């Protein structure tokens, strides 16, 4: 993706209210031409509402939408060069796969042979062998196959931007992973702009050039997946990245703090900060499971804490441990299988630079 690419769609201070409730709150961002852009957020954070505004199914209460610089607030969905793929696919169940894919071309008056050629190409692109699927009824297709048919039909519209609202959420984990990669490949090969919605940051990370994280109608952070992974802006974003440890800490001034586990208070040293925290400030300390390690006798680390191992789970070459600092307070640790002997001693440590101080 060309980072200097011009924005194709610009969202400027968009707010959407339903009565007194604000579902989308003063949101601004730009989607670049040819980009895979993903909106991530928990249930109710306003993802679908925002997407519906972007495709024109809903009008913003205030704010502007610009497509290649032109304001399109009042342009109805059917006059926009965009297309939406929904979670419920809205395929025509009584039609064949071929007729479903050709539908956009039929309404545009394309000839039968042109329609068939294009449908054939698109089915191949989506790994649905046209010899087998073209005449098959969609009601006889599996969930994953229907998902591909819906995508082929969306591509047949030849829109400038494709919008997706959690299109893979109904599929099993293996098929979802496979289709994530395929979607990314299709986006790359067609060079279309994709705007995707999911509640899974992991899914977003696999496919996206950039990700925006939404909380209660507000964008918390926007950036490339690696940037967000390396420097989450706050604990809310960090928590979205799967299993991380977030410790409740209170600053004591300087580089010291206490960790408030609920049962006991553990003294800790903090990483170097551009501006030291004032004594009494409450924050979260982020430590990734792979940054925690078990210390052998005589080994040192920036912080150490005695723990009891509650559970261990094999992740193949690595082992994930759930350890207890005190009753009700657990941490997740991930280590290589070879380090198993050190685990038995029950002393956990981490280097200060491997922890990050975050706002909630």
Q: Let me know if 120 is exposed, middle or buried by CB neighbors in 10 A (0-12, 13-18, 19+).
A: middle
Shortest Å, Cβ 85 to Mg ion: 13
- Residue 248 CB coordination number (10 Å): 16
Q: DSSP string of 185-227?
A: HHHHHHT-EEEEEES-HHHHHHH-SEEEEEETTEEEEEE-HHH
Stretch of residues binding Mg ion (CB under 5 A), selected from 47-55, 174-182, 243-251, 336-344: 47-55
Shortest Å, Cβ 297 to ligand ATP: 49
Q: DSSP string of 254-286?
A: TTEEEEE-SS-EEEEEPPP-SSPPPTT-EEEEE
Binding status of residue 45 toward Mg ion by CB under 5 A:
no
Binding status of residue 219 toward ligand ATP by CB under 6 A:
no
Stretch of residues binding ligand ATP (CB under 6 A), selected from 45-53, 95-103, 200-208, 237-245: 45-53
Site string for ligand ATP, 7-36 (x = CB under 6 A): -----------x--x-x-------------
Nearer to Mg ion, 49 or 261 (CB): 49
Shortest Å, Cβ 204 to ligand ATP: 13
Task: Sort residue 233 into left (φ over 0), alpha (ψ -120 to 50) or beta.
Answer: alpha
Nearer to Mg ion, 48 or 208 (CB): 48
Quick one: CA dihedral 119, 124, 130, 134, positive or negative? Answer: negative
Nearer to ligand ATP, 50 or 251 (CB): 50
Residue nearest Mg ion, Cβ-based: 48
- CB-based contact 88:129 (threshold 8 Å): no
Residues 112-171 that bind Mg ion (CB under 5 A): none
* Distant-in-sequence, close-in-space partners of 183: CB < 8 Å, separation ≥ 6: 151, 164, 194, 196, 207
Binding status of residue 245 toward Mg ion by CB under 5 A:
no
Shortest Å, Cβ 140 to ligand ATP: 29
Binding status of residue 198 toward Mg ion by CB under 5 A:
no
Residues 154-213 that bind ligand ATP (CB under 6 A): 199
| Residue 260: both structure tokens together | 């408030």
CA dihedral 215, 220, 221, 222 (to 10 degrees): 70
Shortest Å, Cβ 131 to Mg ion: 37
Nearer to Mg ion, 48 or 96 (CB): 48
Q: DSSP string of 8-65?
A: EEEEEEEEEEETTEEEEEEEEEEEETT-EEEEE--TTSSHHHHHHHHHTSS--SEEEE
Binding status of residue 48 toward Mg ion by CB under 5 A:
yes
Shortest Å, Cβ 45 to Mg ion: 9
| Residue 133: both structure tokens together | 């699927």
Residue 330 bridge partners (DSSP): 324
Stretch of residues binding ligand ATP (CB under 6 A), selected from 37-45, 131-139, 254-262, 323-331: 37-45
330 contact, one of Mg ion, ligand ATP, none, CB 5-8 Å limit per kind = none
Among 10, 14, 31, 45, binds ligand ATP (CB under 6 A): 45
- The site for ligand ATP, by CB under 6 A, has a size of 12
Residues that bind ligand ATP (CB under 6 A): 18, 21, 23, 41, 43-49, 199
Residues that bind Mg ion (CB under 5 A): 48
């Amino acid at each position: 993706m060309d980072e200097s690419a011009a924005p194709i769609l610009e969202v400027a201070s968009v707010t959407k209210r339903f009565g007194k409730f604000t579902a989308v709150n003063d949101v601004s961002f730009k989607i670049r031409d040819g980009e895979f852009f993903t909106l991530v957020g928990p249930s109710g954070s306003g993802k679908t509402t925002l997407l519906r505004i972007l495709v024109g199914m809903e009008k913003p209460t205030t704010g502007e939408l610009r497509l290649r610089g032109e304001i399109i607030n009042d342009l109805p969905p059917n006059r926009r060069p965009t297309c939406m793929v929904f979670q419920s696919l809205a395929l025509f169940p009584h039609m064949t796969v071929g007729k479903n894919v050709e539908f956009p071309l039929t309404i545009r008056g394309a000839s039968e042979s042109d329609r068939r050629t294009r449908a054939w190409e698109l089915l191949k692109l989506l790994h649905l062998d046209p010899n087998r699927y073209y005449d098959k009824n969609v009601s006889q297709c599996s969930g994953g196959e229907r998902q591909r048919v819906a995508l082929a039909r969306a591509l047949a519209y030849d829109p400038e931007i494709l919008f997706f609202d959690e299109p893979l959420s109904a599929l099993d984990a293996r098929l979802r992973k496979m289709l994530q990669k395929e979607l990314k490949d299709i986006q790359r090969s067609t060079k279309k702009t994709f705007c995707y919605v999911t509640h899974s940051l992991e899914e977003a990370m696999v496919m996206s050039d950039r990700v925006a994280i939404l909380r209660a109608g507000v964008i918390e952070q926007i950036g490339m997946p690696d940037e967000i992974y390396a420097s989450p802006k706050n604990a809310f974003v960090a928590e979205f990245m799967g299993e991380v440890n977030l410790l409740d800490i209170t600053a004591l001034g300087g580089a010291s703090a206490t960790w408030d586990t609920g049962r006991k208070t553990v003294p800790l040293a903090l990483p170097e900060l551009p501006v030291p925290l004032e004594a009494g400030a409450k924050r979260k300390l982020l430590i990734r499971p792979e940054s925690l390690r078990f210390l052998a006798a005589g080994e040192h680390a920036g912080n150490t804490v005695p723990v009891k191992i509650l559970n261990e789970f094999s992740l193949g070459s690595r082992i994930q441990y759930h350890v207890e600092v005190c009753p009700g307070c657990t941490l997740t640790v991930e280590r290589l299988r070879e380090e198993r002997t050190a685990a038995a001693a029950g002393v956990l440590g981490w280097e200060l630079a491997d922890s990050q101080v975050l706002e909630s």
